[in-house]
Amino acid sequence: MEVFTEKEKRILTVTKSPSDELSLTNCLVINEDLFKNLKTKYGDELFTKISFNNGTKFIYKICSHDKISPELIGLSYIQREWTQITLQCKADVSICVCTKYAVISKINLKIDFLYKKSKIMESFNTDLMAKKFNECFRDLPFTKGQKLIFKLTDKMPLLQLVVDKIECIENSASTFGLLKMNSLVFFDKADDSEINLTGKYRGAVTMTTTSILNPDWDFSKMGVGGLDKEFSVIFRRAFVSRVYPPELVEQLGLQHVKGILLYGPPGTGKTLMARQIGKMLNASEPKIVNGPEILNKFVGESEKNIRVLFEDAEADQKKYGVNSPLHMIIFDEIDAICKQRGTATGSTGVADTVVNQLLSKIDGVEQLNNILIIGMTNRKDLIDEALLRPGRLEVQMEINLPNEEGRLQILNIHTSKLQEHKKLHSDVDLKQISVQIKNYSGAEIEGLVRAATTNAMNKLVSQGQGKVEINPNAVESLLVTKTDFDVAASDIKPAFGSGTDDADHYLDIGIFIYGNPISSIIEDGELLIKQAQSGSLVSPVSLLLQGPAGSGKTALAAHLAYKLSNFPFVKVVSPENMIGYSESSKCQAIKKIFDDAYKSELSCIIVDDIERLLEYVPIGPRFSNVVLQTLIVLLKKKARKGHKLLIIATCNSSDVLRSLQVLDCFNATIYVPAIRDVIYMTNILRELNVFNNDELREIESSMKQKSFNVSLKKLISLAEMAKQSDDSKVIKFICLLDQQCAKTAFHPILDDRSVFDLKHVPFLGQYF
């Protein structure tokens, strides 16, 4: 249904508006008698649909004046300029009445001085202008692009207004509507205008509440997967306020979030996420800065580089105020330029001044509300704390390793081309692969797909006589199979995964389940593993394996961690990896392993040979108190929410740890005994495959009446030594075992009592 219904048509000649007052009404003027007759016939609300030779139609409201002839219609200069019609031109005028309201909800007007010579420096209050505009032009029709004259007060110069945008209640993208009492009116400076505006109704109004977002954003299509939860938090904290119209945000007195810090392990998608946020937002082209690029050897140049980054944002802030477009600055490796002040080496102090300059630009005296800074780092601890407070890098989001669902998303992203062109074999189950590749980062998953693809390509390559050939007929049949992914998984190892090298090192000969003592240890260990996986009250779960040196504690710990727990992250804190370390370096190395463990949902840490780690010796006694306190703190530290940690430690004597106040840090202590039973010894020798059955019976018969106490490691060593004597290896083994038992007869520390007090040892009691 048309908004206006035509009642009758007339041909009138265009003339000037009879008075300046009528020019300010934005109405077309006709003869008074004619106007009265039309009102009698059609009612009070009369409009004109006026068209000219070029076919263009314009809608105006009409009013009357007694000094204009019936065959004329009066247009002001600004109306003739917009309609592009000259005086004395014949115009087709349709007399209309309004039958349907197209009510304007918001109208945006470009404003400038009508005459440049009449410009003044005094500011115009947009709040008063909006109120005056509604009073003067209520119930008048407006069209996008329409020009009109406006006067705020008698003392103010005339202003020229141009309708820039219109939003109607029925149609948000309308080009025409009627101004009503509740219509919102906003003013914005025309291009190159020098007029000064104040008030909440200044600036270009955001015509739709979601214009800050690109309507076609989709993180899966942008190549980012597994970060749905992180992005939802970032959107809530940083972007939701930018969705609302600027005038409402200003009424709330709200300052937008100016900074986001993305931190986490390498390869988890921090840089990629920051780049895609820039594409997702309807903002100026993001400025991407690699941290070290800012620094310059010349005095003052580094600070200047920071200032240059903010110049465009400052210019738009001055020009558009709260309606300025968003400016994004992305700092990759932000820790390179924002280290904690006072920690940088050298005498120039450049690093400190760069941080000061950045702080003043983000949240200084002249605050900017049209910027969004995204910083990325692997080392949040290096960044100056002043940069992390609210008002600066306020939203701090840790980008962790993806979970199973996230890994599947990333696999789908990186195999999309293979699936699209049907190059992925039917035996490839991406969901199953996502379960297998635990603790892989996004970059490592990309590398996995790349390695699998190159494995499939390599099958079609033949080498011979100094050249490489590809069978062109086989190229079409190229498919990436499950076997290719399996081979790729053996090549691409996760940085925060279970180290197979450590597993091979500690389990090179496996473990010997020679009897009930070892079986019960493994059973108790499995219970603690289940507690660490599913328990909710205690985390971390910690186990201490205590027993004489060489009894197999480290191998048992490795078996529990690598074979039974199946945790995606397993690391070993071992004294052999820290030879030559200073106390502080050793503390940092231990802390790093514990910090890395919390980047995985399920983690296991083996703390091997605690006495050696603490540099403990009984004479003195002497130990490293710095390392001791670090270890106690880390063992007692509560696991982060959503992370489960299992700690398995080994030591030779629980009494040493009790005296050092470490024993209480463990949830359970299990004793790993030495070999004292001939049946257990025979079982171990049988697994070593050094002696045949007759020789084993001879050894068992010989040792049955003897008392012996030997560690597992020593027993294996004696068997290996006896093996070298082919003719008399049984006799040699028994002699070696007797000698070993004689040596250890005076070492009660090998006693298999679960609780042993060193005060009772004659030659050590003086130290306790």
- Which residues have a catalytic role annotated? 553-554, 608-609, 636, 713
Contacting residues for 571 by C-beta, under 8 A, at least 6 apart: 499, 502, 593, 596, 597, 603, 604, 605, 606
CB atoms within 10 A of CB 252: 10
Q: Tell me the C-alpha to C-alpha distance, in Å, between residue 442 and each of 227, 408, 424, 487, 596.
A: 10, 10, 20, 19, 17
Distance of alpha carbon 94 from alpha carbon 415, whole angstroms: 65
DSSP of 398-432: E-----HHHHHHHHHHHTHHHHHTT-B-TT--HHH
Reduced to 3 DSSP states, what percent helix, strand and coil does the chain have, rounded to the nearest 5?
40, 20, 40
Residue 556 CA to residue 518 CA, distance in Å, equals 9
CA distance 733 to 710: 13
Please give the helix or strand (H or E) that residue 377 lies within, else none: strand 371-377
| DSSP for residue 675 | B
Q: Does residue 10 contact residue 109 with C-beta atoms inside 8 Å? A: no
Question: In which order are the strands placed within the sheet that holds 159-168?
Answer: 147-150, 159-168, 104-113, 184-189
- Phi, psi at 401, each rounded to 5°: -65, 140
Positive or negative, the Cα torsion across 331, 335, 336, 340? positive
DSSP H or E segment with residue 630: helix 625-636
User: In this structure, which amino acid lies at residue 454?
Assistant: T
Determine the Cα–Cα distance for residues 204 and 214; give it in Å rounded to an integer: 19
- Residue 137 CA: distances (Å) to CA of 39, 179, 219: 20, 7, 47
* Rounded Cα gap, residues 539 and 639, in angstroms: 6
The C-alpha atoms of residue 269 and residue 265 are separated, in whole angstroms, by: 9
**If you count DSSP H runs as helices and E runs as strands, how many of each does the chain have, helices first?**
28, 26
In three-state secondary structure terms, 533 is helix
- How many CA atoms lie within 13 Å of 539's alpha carbon, on the beta-carbon side? 21
Q: Closest by alpha carbon to 678, among 736, 737, 739, 752?
A: 737
Please give the single-letter amino acid code of residue 109.
L
Of 81, 73, 145, residue with least CA distance to 107: 145
**Residues 331, 376 contacting (CB under 8 angstroms):** yes
